[in-house]
Structure 1
Amino acid sequence: MAKLYPERIVIYPKDVENLIGKCERSASELLRQIRRALGKPRGAFVTLREFCYFTGMDEEEVRAELRKR
């Protein structure tokens, strides 16, 4: 029987690396820029929806790609 996992809500630098092919430092910087633009405090989580809105990527495509990993 296959294990069911809940949908991912939060995106991490490693996810950004894999999605857009940037190095870890650039991925972290992109997440920092998103936090700043949204007025979030340092260290706050960035949701998948916020990431997609900021980058213009399709949320369903990103979710599908994250499920593969």
Structure 2
Amino acid sequence: MLNNRIIIYAQDIMIFTGRSRSYAYKILKEVKTAFGKSKHNLVTIQEFADFHSIPVQELLDSLFKKQ
């Protein structure tokens, strides 16, 4: 299955980092603050990767690897 999603969610962060849900929400809040986004705005995979200096392809491979 090809996943063309561009938004990252807390569940994705939990999978990628192996950390808790509360940690994932904390990280999303930090990324939103860094990019000047409001509480209701979504975070893209690109923004998350840029914020953490992670290559986007590495993040995509980890999140959407073939089962």
Q: How much has 1:25 moved relative to structure 2?
A: 0.3
- Secondary structure of 1:8 counterpart: coil
Give me the whole-angstrom Cα distance separating, in 1, the residues matched to 2:13 and 2:49.
11
Which has the larger share of strand? 1
DSSP 3-state at the match of 1:51: helix
User: Are residues 1:51 and 2:51 paired?
Assistant: no
Gaps of 5+ in 2: none
Aligned to 1:14: 11
Any idea what the Cα deviations from partners look like across 1:5-46, whole Å, max 9, x if unmatched?
A: 451200000000010111000100100010011110002100
For 2:3 and 2:24, how far apart are their aligned partners in 1?
Answer: 24
* Structure 1 stretches lacking a partner, 5+ long: none
Match of residue 60 from structure 1: 57
> RMSD of aligned C-alpha atoms?
1.5
TM-score, normalising length: structure 1: 0.86
Could you tell me whether the CA contact under 8 Å between 2:31 and 2:51 is conserved in 1?
yes
Higher Rg of the two aligned structures: 1
Alignment of 1:18-57 (within 5 A): 18-57=15-54
Residue pair 2:3, 2:64 contacting (<8 A) in 1 also: no
Once residues 28 and 8 of structure 1 are traced to their aligned partners in structure 2, the CA distance between those partners, rounded to angstroms, is: 19
TM-score, with structure 2 as normaliser: 0.88
Identity of aligned residues (%): 29
